[in-house]
Amino acid sequence: MSLIIPQGYVPKLVPELMEQAIFFIKEEFQQSLTEELNLRRVTAPLFVLKGTGVNDDLNGIERPVSFPIKAMNERYAEVVHSLAKWKRMKLAAYKIPAGYGIYTDMNAIRADEELDNIHSLYVDQWDWERTIRPEDRNLDYLCDVVESIYNCLKDVEHSVYCEYPHIRPLLPERITFIQSEDLLNEYPNLTPKERETEIVRKYGAVFIIGIGHNLSNGEFHDGRAPDYDDWSSETDPGYYGLNGDILVWNPVLKQALELSSMGIRVDKLALLKQLSIRGCEERKELAFHRALLNDELPLSIGGGLGQSRLCMYFLRCAHIGEVQTSIWPEAMVRNCAEAGILLR
């Protein structure tokens, strides 16, 4: 168990106001995101069939929660890790034109998650996906979308300040972009998470570009599955990646807080290349991958934005358990309670 207890922590809101604030933030952000990215809401599944390639494999080692379906000859279903691939299939099914997309409330269970101040067994996020054109598959387009999402964050921060004036805005006017390779060069002796903390401490809000490919030290900044984000496309000489993470400075925990993972999705060439790099070319025979290779899915960009993490950030909470209900180790609940951090 990894737990940070901020010295002298006092919640910004009393428990009876917390639910109202959570609802307020979620409503404000959904409205802003919908308008900024031209999205419409759809209903999402809680589980998908095992063996179709639709579920998100994350880093490839996390075990999905699964169960047999009595009415389908004991065929197994898996609780989703995320909806990265499912959303792209829905863009095709709904024939969403370029420049428009969908978003949904995604609820997941990640049984192998290491629990701490910002990680929970229960994952709630807004999953979104937007159809793009072939000419949009470039770094400039990715950065434009990141700036649009950052505008949403700024709008919500302003709304929270208007509603709760004692919670003062902290986000910088602009988000800073940096390649993961440049970040390594700037902090060569630090781990990836330590590098994130230092760069976000410096700028306040950062988008780290290129997550999943090997850096010059032979490691990658963070893991990414090979079959949704395009992390292998060359964007500039010496650099890779059409994906990344949005991170902001957490003033309570004094560290970087990831709010979103997103990217331009793989096309056929990137899919084949990344499956080869990761040594899992057998996935080409799965239903999702066959559809992509047969030109049955549109080009797209998409990602996820953590709902509880946004609420945690905007309400200056010390633990994600203050804004969501989940299961926590008894020692964590006890230690938090002693410090005035009430977990749900």
Q: Which two tokens stand for residue 281?
A: 């070319």
Contacts of 158 (CB under 8 A, 6+ apart): 169
Q: What is the mean pLDDT of residues 313-341?
A: 95
Task: Check whether 1 has a pLDDT greater than 70.
Answer: no
| Look-up of token digits 């988008």 | 207
Q: Which residue, among 304, 306, 310, has the nearest Cα to 128 in the 3D structure?
A: 304
Q: Give per-residue pLDDT as tens, 19-54.
A: 999 999 999 999 999 999 999 999 988 898 888 877
What pLDDT sits at residue 84? 86
Q: What is the mean pLDDT of residues 103-132?
A: 93
The yes-or-no answer on residue 261 being catalytic is yes
| Look-up of token digits 């691939």 | 85
Q: What is the mean pLDDT of residues 182-197?
A: 96
The yes-or-no answer on residue 112 being catalytic is no
The yes-or-no answer on residue 258 being catalytic is yes
Q: Residue 57: which pLDDT band, with cuts at 50, 70 and 90? A: low
Please give the share of the chain, as a percent, with pLDDT higher than 70. Answer: 98
Q: Give per-residue pLDDT as tens, 81-95.
A: 878 889 999 999 999
The yes-or-no answer on residue 219 being catalytic is no
pTM: 0.93
Task: Check whether 125 has a pLDDT greater than 60.
Answer: yes
186 close to 195: Cβ distance less than 8 angstroms: yes
Q: Which residue, among 73, 99, 85, 4, has the nearest Cα to 44 in the 3D structure?
A: 85
Q: Locate the domains of the chain by residue range.
A: 15-338
Q: What per-residue string of b and e applies to 200-215 under the rule 16 or more CB within 10 Å gives b?
A: beebbbbbbbbbbbeb
The yes-or-no answer on residue 56 being catalytic is yes
Q: What is the mean pLDDT of residues 177-190?
A: 96
Cross-strand partners of 234: 240
Q: Which residue, among 252, 250, 211, 202, has the nearest Cα to 231 in the 3D structure?
A: 211
Q: Give per-residue pLDDT as tens, 275-324.
A: 999 999 999 999 899 999 999 999 999 999 999 999 999 999 999 999 99
**Candidates 222, 245, 267, 322; catalytic one:** 245
Q: Which two tokens stand for residue 204?
A: 């306040």
Q: Residue 112: which pLDDT band, with cuts at 50, 70 and 90? A: confident
What mean pLDDT is reported for the chain? Answer: 93
Q: Name the residue with higher pLDDT: 74 or 344.
A: 74
**Candidates 28, 56, 57, 222; catalytic one:** 56
**Candidates 255, 261, 274, 307; catalytic one:** 261
**Candidates 28, 57, 88, 110; catalytic one:** 110
Q: What is the mean pLDDT of residues 183-206?
A: 97
Angle, alpha carbons 314-84-2 (nearest 5°):
50
What pLDDT sits at residue 5? 95
Domain 15-338 superfamily per CATH: Bira Bifunctional Protein; Domain 2 (3.30.930.10)
The yes-or-no answer on residue 7 being catalytic is no
63 close to 112: Cβ distance less than 8 angstroms: yes
